[in-house]
Structure 1
Amino acid sequence: MPDLVQQDVSTNASPIFTLFDSESVDKLTRDHILRLAVGVLGAVRIRGFSSEQECADIMEGLDHREFGAYDENLIFPPIAKIGPAAYDFYGAHTLTDEYWQAADEARRLRGGLYHGSDPMDMAVDWVSGAWGDEVVPARSKGREMFAGMIREIPQGAKLHFDEIVREFPGILDETPTSFLTLNWYLSMPEEGGETRVYRRRWRPADESLRDGYGYDEKVVEGEPVAVVRPRTGDAVIFDSRNLHAVNEIRGEGRRVSLSFFMGVTGRGPLQIWS
């Protein structure tokens, strides 16, 4: 049943629905993507996006790959990763030359992780099947952008938002109408590591509560929230423009995900990038 914010019984007014719950499903559909895009679904967890054995095989491959990290002067607590983010290589309304070099190296490191193949290909196939159309790399100055960063977040992530056209204007050749993020969990700890997504977009006044790359939790006090605790092999999709955070892990295990953004455009294909 939808969550009710309020109902004015004195005037028999219609109830106001938050329409911001999380849903756990066994199969991703086009309708889930569209509901996320228009903002009437907070987050969707796809159970068994892959098998635990597939994840274990990919994690074994990662044992032989070296992780980099975001600049700790900008992103703290530290987050290890394979693959560049636009965040890392933005300059004068374009991506720097170093971005394309890092993208090529990341594709090499990620390639062959799953029995000689790239697990990103698996994720794209699954999403394309749900969407019913192509899933293609976003382009910047005519070049295909990198998508499919692998990240490990043991100490959580601060409350923040991701909206490439607001944070890094000029990068995308085509502006999507909605922005989503997909996280496929290759490993999850025994406890903790939940994702919290709030029904709250960034506002200019929030800058007074900025905390490094993110924001003080006071920004979302009283806001509806969708909390998702995936298991290994699950995937979670939500609108990255909504303020969101990751809880610190507890107990044994690692929190490792393959992540990319998806842009819903006015035409058929989904665009993806990291």
Structure 2
Amino acid sequence: MTPSDAPQSRWSDLDRPPLNVPALRRGLLRPGGLWTSLDVVETTGSTNSDLARRAAAGLAEGTVLVAEEQTAGRGRLDRTWTAPARSGLFFSVFVTPGDVPVHRWGWLPLLAGVATATGLARAAGVDTALKWPNDLLVTVEGEERKAGGILAERAGNGVVVGIGLNVSLRTDELPAPTAASLALAGAVSTDRETLLRGVLRSLEHWYGQWRAADGDAAASGLQEAYAAGCATLGRTVRAQLPGDRTLTGEAVAIDGDGRLILSTDDGLQEPVSAGDIVHLRGVGGGLT
């Protein structure tokens, strides 16, 4: 598959033009910056899978791969992610935080959530809340709905972080009643190039802060920022764990390891890690 180096002259949906790759490269690739290469492919199964395969053979930090369409996009636990071509942002980045202790790498998907939310606030004018551990929520007609998700995977000597975001999906195109898009949430801009630049610049900022603090989420401000934007905190939730176990309690904090702390009825403070969660649901509405 050959990366697209120039906008296509024709497209089927005039509201969904292809990305302008040279313009994106001019705006994002700079000496000394995090992003070292950026390619766009017309269609692929999964940008995460593509970068993971390349990482196994050696890949430069800061590689960005964007797909106009994903035919086998994956969420956490291999859940599927589908959307019409050019209706969203589907991209993955490769980072190698080699000087950060490996036990702190689990913060990378949460970091990507903070970066995406803050980037979209500036570029799209949309408040994006974070559902721990990896969902991006927007409000449509007073209801919280999922507009995007994040998937981080170890690959080669680093981590591939994938972000999928519904941008211009119309109501009849949504994969589920609980889904949404930025357009349906009233975004002031649905220009995908503007949004992609905003998210990648925000991701570069937060990643730089986190690495400079040796991956310490508190010292870098990441832990506080995540908690401030996390819709899960303060709610009673039910965590479905492997082996058909469930744990119900009020989500009271995100600890220094990125785990969700639940306060149960018996007075215990139970930490739950993202790797242990099968589903997380709100009790009494919300966080579907």
TM-score normalised by structure 1 residue count:
0.25
Report the structure, 1 or 2, having the larger helix content: 2
Q: RCO (CA 8 Å, sep 6+): is it higher in 1 or 2?
A: 1
Higher strand share: 1
